[in-house]
Structures are given as C-alpha cells and as structure tokens.
Amino acid sequence: MNAMPLLQLVFNILIIIPLYYASREDLKYNRIDKKYVIMIFLIVMAYTMLSTEYDVERTFSFLITLGIFSAMTFFSRGAFGFGDTLILGALGWYIGSLIFLRDFYMILVFTMLVWGAYQIIKNRKNINGLKQHLKTIHVLPIDKVLPGMILASDYFMTGLTEKDIMELKKDGYVSLDIKLAYPFIPVIFIAFLIHIVFHLYF
C-alpha cells in the first residue's frame, strides 16, 4: 500500500464533497449549480498554492484536459455540458502528473462506457424505444417531459425543474424539443474515487 501524503488526503476529501453533491443534482435535474464548479476550482487553487509538486506539468495537465473536453463539448452539439468540462479541467489541474492523468482518463473512459450503457437501458422507454432514443433531438408532448430534461435551444445544459415544466404548460406549450443528455458528473465522481483508490493501493 502506498502512503498518501496528508495534504493530498485532505484535499481528496475536500474535492469529493462538492463532487458528490454536484452528482446528486446532476442525477435529479441534469444541471450543475455553479457554486460546485467554483468550490472545486477554489479547492484546487488552494492545493496548488500549498503544494510545489509538478508545477509546469500541472499546467499542461489542466490545459490538455480543458482542451480535450472543450472539443467534446463542441462536437457533441450540446450533449456534453460546459460544467462537466470545467470540473474535469479542475481535476486535471489537481492531478497534475501526466502519468496519473493518463490513468485517470483510462478509468474515466471505462466508467463512461459502463454508465452510458446503463443510462440507455434505463431510459429507453421514455422516448419510444432505443432507436428513437439514440437521436440527438426529440419532440415530446409536454405531459411526457420530465424534470432534468433539457430544451434543444439551451446551450448551457440547464435541466428543467418541476416548476419550469408547470410554467411551460401554463404558457400553452403542447410539445417541446428536448436535447438528449446524460448526467455525466456522477461518472466523473466515480472515476475520481476509483483513481484515488487505485493510486492508494497500487
């Protein structure tokens, strides 16, 4: 078992807490409160100021992570949110080492594949079968719109709440263009936990 420095252990816990609450919100509403993104960045900034390891490498890790997932956000046509990208950028900054970042990416990709398969199987009945579910945009009757679904016109990936849906019904909407999106912060949360355990015991 590898010894984890006390400073890193403390900051791992500090990052896990807002990631956990962001995951809960993402699961319920497909949205991330900005306060969680800000909290994670502030925690990483504090860690960077207290730790002198991998200074240059840490910057590269941050830029590489932010660049890769910004491209994913653009090419996914909104299926991948900016909040997800910013949190991943912060984690890339925190992880620092390019070797550790590579390991995190491998864990993240595996977790993403498992999570994506689970979400498709779980949610395919909501939108007329699997073939329809694989499309990017869906037209749904207002009565079938659920909390957490995202309007096709919303590029900031803000999931609808119960209150939003009630207001849209009052405004006379009978159907809505809904954007396909899966909650991704839980994937990041799980991958980060696995990454910590992996480097703690191996």
pLDDT, tens digit, 9 for 90 and up, residues 70-120: 776 665 555 566 778 888 888 988 888 778 888 898 999 899 888 878 876
Same domain, 135 and 108: no
Same domain, 23 and 101: yes
Structural domain of residue 161, as residue ranges?
126-179
Same domain, 18 and 118: yes
In a domain, 47, yes or no: yes
In a domain, 1, yes or no: no
Same domain, 97 and 61: yes
Instruction: Return the SS3 of 51.
Output: coil
Q: How many domains does the chain have?
A: 2
Query: pLDDT band for position 125 (50/70/90)?
Result: low
Same domain, 116 and 186: yes
In a domain, 15, yes or no: yes
Same domain, 50 and 97: yes
Same domain, 47 and 63: yes
Same domain, 95 and 138: no
Mean pLDDT of 182-188: 85
Region label for 78, one of left (φ > 0), alpha (ψ between -120 and 50) or beta (otherwise) = left
Same domain, 25 and 89: yes
Same domain, 159 and 192: no
* Strand residues in 9-123 grouped as ranges (E): none
- Check whether 130 has a pLDDT greater than 50: no
Element (H, E) at 138: strand 137-141
- Check whether 54 has a pLDDT greater than 60: no
Same domain, 35 and 113: yes
Same domain, 31 and 62: yes
The b-or-e profile of 127-148 (16+ CB within 10 A means b, else e) is beeeeebeeeebebeeeebeeb
If you search the block for the tokens 């659920």, which residue do you land on?
146
- Check whether 22 has a pLDDT greater than 50: yes
